Amino acid sequence: MMLSEERQEFSDFDWKRHGLITIGDARYEAFKEIQDAAAGLRLVFPTGFKKLDRQLLGGFTPGKLYILGGRPGAGKSFVSNEILFRVLNAAKKDKKKVICLYWSFEMPARQQIIRMITKEIQMTSAQLLSIDQVLPSDLINKAVKLTERYNNLPVFFKQVSTTIYDAFTTVSDIYKQYPYHTIINLWDHSRLFIPDDDSDGELQRLVALTQGLVRMQQKTQCINILLSQLNRNIEQPTRKASGYQPMLSDLFGSDSLGQEAEVVMLINRPHDLYNITHKYCGQDPIGLLALHIEKNRNGMMGMISFDCSIQTFTLQERNTNNIQI
């Protein structure tokens, strides 16, 4: 009786006109998501990496921002490429409607594809580009056949820097044309956007960037995967004892970027970058790519271990029974 009277008391005000929803509406939406998940109807885009997908509660979710950070040379583009193409291949298999916009500000599209070819054919970039000896035509033909399926993936590259306003306009126009597709944006990387105005300072521009990405997500329910640099704090001598493990505060512009992100993942390759030879978070550092999940709004944090080869751009989850915290 009391609940009914309280509802009646507030029924004369137009809450929705002011962008407010009732707790009852929120409860309904929460249970709908739970029921959709039980029925296999929850829209999520898995990476195919078992441990990573568990951390991401099944994979990437529309309307969210995911940040992948690391020092230069840590492997951000390599890891994001591997994750992205796994997501797209799984989406194609599951017949999910998706469009990928690859904002490749740092390197041309062909270089990204060369990286994928090295993985497919298990040769280095130097071998593919005939640095030491001419690549035989039969291997070129093999690479062509192995990568033919890429032509059928809905991936579109933007190879020059842009403003967040122009990017927002592009994504909005594509969403209007294809409203039943999920748009996945891979932004490489945060510090290469052209400022929309005369904002003073790079941190202010990062605030504008994250605000723009959030508006984009709200309007189009797109998935944003943003690559970002780490500052030099990680390389201070005092961090040596911890194997230079990355922290959220190492993310450049961490206050603005970290606040808006659903998940922040930071990469470290302790042996390759810092010549660490002792155990790193309980793991053998040789060939290790450590993916530290330093923020996760709805899942666990911790470290996921990968074996990687930067020469052939291959990445594989290590066969460990636990996730390092």
- CATH number of the domain encompassing residue 127: 3.40.50.300
SS3 238: helix
Return all residues near 183 (Cβ < 8 A) that are at least 6 apart: 98, 99, 100, 101, 171, 174, 175, 220, 222, 223
Q: Between the CA atoms of 42, 177, 212 and 98, what dihedral angle is there, to the nearest 10 degrees?
A: 40
Give the model confidence (pLDDT) of 111-130 as tens digits.
888 888 888 888 888 888 99
How many beta carbons lie within 10 A of that of residue 116, not counting itself?
17
Whether the Cβ atoms of residue 152 and residue 88 lie closer than 8 Å to each other: no
The answer to the question of residue 22 being in a domain is no
Residue range 222-233: mean pLDDT, rounded: 92
The answer to the question of residue 13 being in a domain is no
The answer to the question of residue 76 being in a domain is yes
**Mean per-residue pLDDT over the chain, rounded:** 88
Check pLDDT > 80 for residue 149.
yes
Compute the distance between CA of residue 186 and CA of residue 84 in angstroms, rounded to an integer: 8
Please count the structural domains in the chain.
1
Region of residue 102 (left: phi > 0; alpha: psi -120 to 50; beta: else) = beta
The answer to the question of residue 255 being in a domain is yes
The answer to the question of residue 214 being in a domain is yes
Compute the distance between CA of residue 273 and CA of residue 270 in angstroms, rounded to an integer: 6
The answer to the question of residue 276 being in a domain is no
Give the model confidence (pLDDT) of 185-218 as tens digits.
999 877 777 776 665 667 777 788 888 999 999 9
Confidence of residue 177 (pLDDT cuts 50, 70, 90): very high
Q: Give the 3-state secondary structure percentages of the chain, helix then strand then coil, rounded to 5.
A: 45, 20, 35
Check pLDDT > 80 for residue 1.
no
Confidence of residue 12 (pLDDT cuts 50, 70, 90): confident
Measure Cα distances from 194 to 84, 209, 229, 251 in Å: 24, 10, 16, 20
Compute the distance between CA of residue 194 and CA of residue 166 in angstroms, rounded to an integer: 10
Residue located via tokens 């660490």: 276
The answer to the question of residue 185 being in a domain is yes
What's the confidence (pLDDT) of residue 50?
Answer: 95
Compute the distance between CA of residue 141 and CA of residue 147 in angstroms, rounded to an integer: 10
Return all residues near 176 (Cβ < 8 A) that are at least 6 apart: none
Query: Which amino acid is located at 277 in the chain?
Result: T
**Residue 83 lies in domain:** 59-266
Compute the distance between CA of residue 99 and CA of residue 222 in angstroms, rounded to an integer: 10
The answer to the question of residue 177 being in a domain is yes
| Range in 71-80, 89-98, 221-230, 255-264 with the lowest mean pLDDT | 255-264
Give the model confidence (pLDDT) of 17-50 as tens digits.
888 988 888 899 989 988 988 888 889 999 999 9
Residue range 148-164: mean pLDDT, rounded: 88
SS3 286: coil
